[in-house]
């Protein structure tokens, strides 16, 4: 069985220019995810990109690179478009889809997910990472409570905890992906990560926080 890791890293980020290779404590952001993936139980680490600078960084870090067509690297492109492109170019039995914007993920998290999907007794088709969230009162932008009532505010311990997808990684089988063209489908399992390692780099504020956490 062949297990590969794939990191999608396009070059056209607008919120933070060249976000995927921006300096984080003297290392390009992409390096953290590549290093983590190489420590995990995958056979090869791939980076899909449309950017020559990102390609150069990835190759220097020992990753394989798949040149992504521009039509799969626009602001409106879905990750699944790039995953489908990858699946047509590279053979695999299990795919670990990682995001460079989640540098706090550990190889142990990935390996836990792989152990779950390899387990024939559990028969998972897909796995994703998440953290558990305690209930907090949420409000809409027009200042209305969301899924609770002001005169019936519940106690936190009385509300079921929920899993929040943190975007760090997704694992799927080739068979499930070919059937659904989605990062997760069929019987789905969760690898729980702590909230403290679930932050993503999407804004400049996130960037400042990650620099302090790493």
> Over 80: is that where the pLDDT of 13 sits?
no
User: Cβ-count burial of 86 within 10 angstroms (0-12 exposed, 13-18 middle, 19+ buried)?
Assistant: buried
> Over 80: is that where the pLDDT of 14 sits?
no
> d(Cα 179, Cα 173) in Å, to the nearest integer?
10
Q: How many CB atoms lie within 10 A of CB 102?
A: 24
* Active-site amino acid positions: 153
Choose among 140, 138, 114, 136: nearest CA to 126.
114
Q: What is the mean pLDDT of the chain?
A: 95
Domains of the chain (ranges; CATH) run: 3-213 (3.90.550.10)
Record the pTM. Answer: 0.92
Across 33-52, b (16+ Cβ under 10 Å) vs e yields: bbbbbeebebebbbbbbbbe
pLDDT, tens digit, for every residue of 92-133? 999 999 999 999 999 999 999 999 999 999 999 999 999 999
Confidence class for position 15, pLDDT limits 50, 70, 90: confident
């Amino acid at each position: 069985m062949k297990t590969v890791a794939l990191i999608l890293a396009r070059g056209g980020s607008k919120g933070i220019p060249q976000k995927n290779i921006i300096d984080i404590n003297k290392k390009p952001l992409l390096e953290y995810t590549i290093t983590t993936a190489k420590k995990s139980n995958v056979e090869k680490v791939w980076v899909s990109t449309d950017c020559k600078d990102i390609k150069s960084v990835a190759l220097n870090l020992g990753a394989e690179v798949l040149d992504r067509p521009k039509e799969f690297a626009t602001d409106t492109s879905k990750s699944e478009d790039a995953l489908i492109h990858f699946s047509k170019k590279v053979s695999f039995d299990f795919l670990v889809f990682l995001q460079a914007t989640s540098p706090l993920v550990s190889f142990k998290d990935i390996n836990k997910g792989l152990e779950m999907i390899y387990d024939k007794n559990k028969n998972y088709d897909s796995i994703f990472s998440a953290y558990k969230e305690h209930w907090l009162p949420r409000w809409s932008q027009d200042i209305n409570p969301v899924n609770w009532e002001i005169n019936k505010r519940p106690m936190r311990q009385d509300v079921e905890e929920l899993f929040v997808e943190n975007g760090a990684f997704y694992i799927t089988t080739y068979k499930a992906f070919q059937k659904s063209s989605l990062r997760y489908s069929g019987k789905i399992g969760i690898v729980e990560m702590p909230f403290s390692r679930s932050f993503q780099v999407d804004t400049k504020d996130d960037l400042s926080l990650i620099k302090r956490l790493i």
